[in-house]
Amino acid sequence: MPNHWHLLLWPRGDDELSETLRWLTVTHTQRWHAAHRTAGTGPLYQGRFKSFPVQTDEHFLTVARYVERNALRANLVRRAENWRWGGLWRQHRGDAKAKALLSDWPVPRPRNWLTYVNRPETAQELEALRGSVQRGRPYGGEPWQARVAKRLSLESTLRPRGRPKKEDDGL
């Protein structure tokens, strides 16, 4: 994407995600400034990365589809696999070196993956996924969400924003 990245990462340890993204963004920023001779002109990124846990079932496939469709949704390509910088392009058109950069998924890709990725998401899918992005809410089935939110101290992401409404006591 011209102005942001989508990465679907599977950290092994508690601090691995933050450390990896810190290294990636610092390195990218330094190289970008060096290539454009803009060192000392300020940051490239507007804010910290957003992350949320994802259940390893059809919810993972929904997130992967969202990531793979990003350039298509932005009308940068006619088909998702045509986005040269995406994993789908690497998977279908890349050489061995490009494919080696991709990891195995925790769930198998469906046989009709290309057709599925190129079909638009529903408004409900987008709303649920974007809610997880914005709030850092675990993305999965409700029982799984509750367990993961408790384990990772993310219970607040499951509640509505703002103060609870006052109950009318009839007075």
Each residue's pLDDT tens digit, 52-97: 999 999 999 999 999 999 999 999 999 999 999 999 999 999 899 9
Q: How many domains does the chain have?
A: 1
Taking the mean position of all CA atoms in its chain, how far away is CA 138?
Answer: 12
For residue 168, pLDDT over 80 is answered with no
Distance CA 80, CA 117 (A): 7
For residue 169, pLDDT over 90 is answered with no
Question: Mean pLDDT, the chain, as a whole number?
Answer: 89
Residue 80 lies in a domain: yes
Residue 17 lies in a domain: no
Taking the mean position of all CA atoms in its chain, how far away is CA 153?
Answer: 20
CA atoms within 13 A on the CB side of 87: 21
- The alpha carbons of the chain give a radius of gyration, in whole angstroms, of 19
Is the Cβ–Cβ distance between 163 and 100 less than 8 Å? no
Residue 117 lies in a domain: yes
